[in-house]
Structure 1
Amino acid sequence: MERFIQEFRNDTAWLPDWLVSCGVMAVALLIGLAIQRFGFRFLTRLVENKDLFWRSLVSRTRRPMRLAILTWTLSLGATIAPLSAGQAEVIRHLLLLGFIIVVGWMVKIALHVWMIVYLRRFKLDAEDNLLARTHVTQSRIAERIASFMIVAITIAAMLMTFPAVQQYGVSLLASAGVAGVVLGLALQPVLKNIFAGIQLAITQPIRIDDALIVEGEWGNVEEITSTYVVVKLWDWRRMILPLSYFMEKPFQNWTRDSTALIGTVMIYLDYSVPVSAVRRKVEEIAAASKLWDKRVVAVQVTDFRENVMEIRILVSASNAPRTFDLRCEVREKIIDFIQREYPASLPRVRAEGAASSVRSAAGKAVRHGVLQS
């Protein structure tokens, strides 16, 4: 190789160095593009009968693969070109840094492709999606932590290409205790959320699509990142909470072990209403509803008050949104049933209030007539 380089420089000594260098780098660029094109075609044919991971990996890494090949051929071109030792060293070092970045990029793409292919087998839109939500949550948190580590290792590899870092590496390690304390204090919020993410992936207090009540608001977990959680509220607003929130503060998780929920409907009726008729009507409403999962339907008198009795209706559904809609449906239809079949059993306070209003209006009319006469 050295003999070839020397002969090439002797043969082109009559040309300006800058012109030869530009020509060599242009040829290196063209050779790199040709290698990438033929290499990509070869890999595409090689994996066309392979599984989805390899096909997706080759397709997604086309650009970084091209950059990696170009940095390699340009580095060879910088060695051949008639550059000074300092110029060649600077160019090769810059190309080496670029190559390290591209390799880290390719590893990150491979991780992302593998995660997507792995999660394809789990369906979040299924009726019972507890297992799917568990795998999706753990996988996404693990992917983000692994991505953070890939970036850190890539930066460390780039720094190790500098002689000063290699020379003083031992000294840096010796002072890592003090530096670690200072850095830990400076990055405490970030590190706190990263460790909370690891703990969340292991303990699973929340998962993707879990129904939560946080800060007095109801919503579903839409996204879990390495530092925060996005909760989509019932009115489509988004609540952003740090990961550490779910490790330090209490919250309600309605779908921790199962997506199925029991909804409660409270009604207050006069003592004259036949509870058995209400129970039969509730069972009829539940049986006719597409939202009911055919597991729980119950009507119970749970309290006596001065003028009314408290009746609690329980109905179950497969998930939180269906439970909410089923509660509304039962509430609307049972009110309509009471109004049609047992209007006298509506709360006495309301009926007496209406009657007293009528009597008061009649009294005023009579007094007004007496005064006019």
Structure 2
Amino acid sequence: MLWPLASLLTAVLATLLAGWLVDQILQRLAARHPNSPVWESLRRCRIPLQLSLLTAILLASPFLRRVFPSQDGVVRHTVLLALIASLGWLTVRVLTAALEAVFARYQTVTEDASRIQRVETQLGLVRRVGSAVIWVVTVGTLLLTYDAMRTVGASLLASAGLIGIVAGIAAQSALGNFFAGLQIAFSDTVRIGDTVVLEGQQGTVEEITLSYLVLRLWDYRRLVVPVSYFVSKPFENWTRRDPGLLAWVLLHLDHRTPIDALRAELERFLATTDLWDGQEWSLTVTDTTPSTIVVRAMMTARDPDAAATLKLATREHLLAHLGTHHPESLPRIRTT
């Protein structure tokens, strides 16, 4: 009984040693190449790698046959299933690490925020599709290890056409969302980080999957929308080409308002706030009524969140300035 225990202990120690050595090598490579995150990402593959090595060693050694002589076939099959599953797990981890390294590399060669968001969205969907394909292949390989599955393989292939038609009809909605997700990823209509408006709701795209899209609303609620919505219905994308936006404020003021002084105050205020991107601004009278004039102040911001905050801050500042220095500019209701 001591020999089997010694063999098992040796296999476990060899697996732990191999995992430790690989981790040390990756750690040294990550220290030598700090700008290449692939080595640090590959360190997350340590557990599935050790599990794959351990199951492979057990299958190759006579340990199972000597410890379980009467149930050697069942035990070896169980270990084989564990080996196939751990290899699939390891492949998914390697794919994820490679895509993360590609995205990190792309971030260092471009400063265009829109391109970075587009690549992030595309790589995220590629990772999900690749992981799904790997797991499907892994599960198929697991099933093929059973004799019964190989026996009925011919009949399954013969009826694959009918099953495919039935499955296609039953999963029409899911397949539609799947291809819509691929279309969104590679047509650049919606990206992670974009600000969109649909059905009167404004939000920031937080997550894109093959079946749904998550919007973070202004009050931190999450709106979950099928991706097929974005290829079948119109919606507003405020940041598709340029993340900057034009904020505007309308003020109803008295006819005695000093427009030049108000325009100068807006210029002074914008110069003191970080919300303004320093590109464009204006203040004009856009309309008039018998009792008031309509003044519109416009200014650009770097992103939708800054534009919304700048809009509120500008309105508050201009009204406070008029109330303090030009109270006659505030509208009044005349009774005579």
User: TM-score band, normalised by the shorter chain?
Assistant: 0.7 to 0.9
What is the distance in 1 between the residues matched to 2:188 and 2:115? 12
Q: How many angstroms does 1:121 deviate by? A: 4.7
Q: Is the 8 A contact 1:301 1:312 kept in 2?
A: yes
How far apart, CA to CA, are the structure 1 residues paired with 2:333 and 2:290?
15
When Rg is computed on C-alpha atoms for both structures, the one with the higher figure is 1
Aligned twin of 1:200: 184
- Report whether the alignment pairs 1:95 with 2:75: no
- Report the counterpart of residue 36 of structure 1 in structure 2: 15
Q: Which of 64, 69, 81 is the matching residue for 1:83?
A: 69
Pairwise CA distance, 1:186: 2.6
- Shift in alpha-carbon separation, 1:305–1:122, aligned structure 2, 3 A: farther
- Find the counterpart in structure 1 of residue 283 from structure 2: 299
Deviations 1:217-261 (A, max 9, x none): 222112222322221111111112222222222222111111111
Which position in structure 2 is the counterpart of 1:189? 173
Q: Distance in 2 between matches of 1:159 and 1:310?
A: 73
Q: Distance in 2 between matches of 1:181 and 1:161?
A: 27
**Counterpart amino acid of residue 43 in structure 1:** V
1:363 alignment partner in structure 2: none
Match of 2:160 in 1: 176
Return the letter of the residue paired with 1:32: A
Q: Deviations over 1:60-93 (max 9, x none)?
A: 2222122212222333322455624xx3222222
Find the aligned partners of 2:111 and 2:268 in 1 and give their Cα distance: 24
What SS class does the counterpart of residue 192 from structure 2 fall into? coil
- Supply the AA of the counterpart residue of 2:163: A
Cα offset, 1:54, TM superposition = 5.7
SS of alignment partner, residue 255 of structure 2: coil
Conserved 8 A contact 2:250-2:296: yes
Deviation, 1:104, is 0.5
C-alpha displacement at 1:265, in angstroms? 0.5
CA RMSD of aligned residues (A): 2.6
Shift of 1:151: 1.1
SS of the residue aligned with 2:251? Answer: strand
- Asked if structure 1 preserves the Cα contact closer than 8 Å seen for 2:48 and 2:90, the reply is yes
What one-letter code is carried by the residue in structure 1 that aligns with 2:268? E
Assess if the C-alpha contact under 8 Å between 1:268 and 1:311 holds in 2.
Answer: yes
Identical columns (%) = 32
1:345 alignment partner in structure 2: 329
Give the CA deviation at 1:264: 0.9
Kindly state the Cα deviation for residue 214 of structure 1 after the two structures are TM-superposed.
2.6
Deviates further, 252-261 or 127-136: 127-136
- 4+ runs of 1 displaced by more than 4 Å? 50-54, 121-124
Q: Distance in 1 between matches of 2:29 and 2:326?
A: 71
With over 3 angstroms needed to count, the CA separation of the structure-2 counterparts of 1:91 and 1:294, relative to structure 1, is same
In 1, Cα distance between equivalents of 2:47 and 2:296: 63
Residue 152 of structure 1 deviates from its aligned partner by: 0.9
Deviation at 1:193, TM superposition (A): 2.0
1:49 aligns with 2:33: no
2:224 corresponds in structure 1 to: 240
Relative to structure 1, the CA distance from residue 133 to residue 245 in structure 2 (aligned partners, 3 Å threshold; closer, same or farther) is same
CA contact (8 A) 2:257 2:326 kept: yes
SS in structure 2 of the partner of residue 278 of structure 1? helix
| C-alpha deviation, 1:31, in angstroms | 2.6
CA distance in 2, matches of 1:107, 1:302: 62
- TM-score of the superposed pair, with normalisation by structure 1: 0.79
CA deviations on 1:110-138 (whole Å, 9 max, x unpaired) are: 112223333335669x9962222122111
1:144-164 CA-to-partner distances (Å, cap 9, x unmatched) read 111111111111111222223
Q: Scaled by the length of structure 2, what TM-score is found? A: 0.88
Evaluate the alpha carbon distance shift between residue 198 and residue 299 of structure 1 in structure 2; reply closer, same or farther with a 3 A threshold.
same
Provide the rounded CA distance (Å) in 2 between the counterparts of 1:53 and 1:284: 45
1:308-366 Cα deviation digits (max 9, x unpaired): 2222111001111111111112111211222234333322xx3326xx8xxxxxxxxxx
CA 1:127–1:333: 2 relative to 1, 3 Å? farther
Specify every segment of 5 or more residues in structure 2 that has no aligned partner in the other structure, as ranges.
none
Q: CA deviation at 1:107?
A: 0.6
**Does the CA-based 8 Å contact 1:134-1:207 persist in structure 2?**
yes
**Deviation string, structure 1 residues 3-37 (Cα, Å, up to 9, x no partner):** xxxxxxxxxxxxxxxxx6xx665444323212212
Q: 2 CA distance for matches of 1:72 and 1:183?
A: 37
Paired residues for 1:69-218 under 5 Å: 69-75=53-59, 76=61, 77-81=63-67, 83-84=69-70, 87-121=71-105, 129-218=113-202
C-alpha separation between the residues in 2 aligned to 1:304 and 1:82? 94
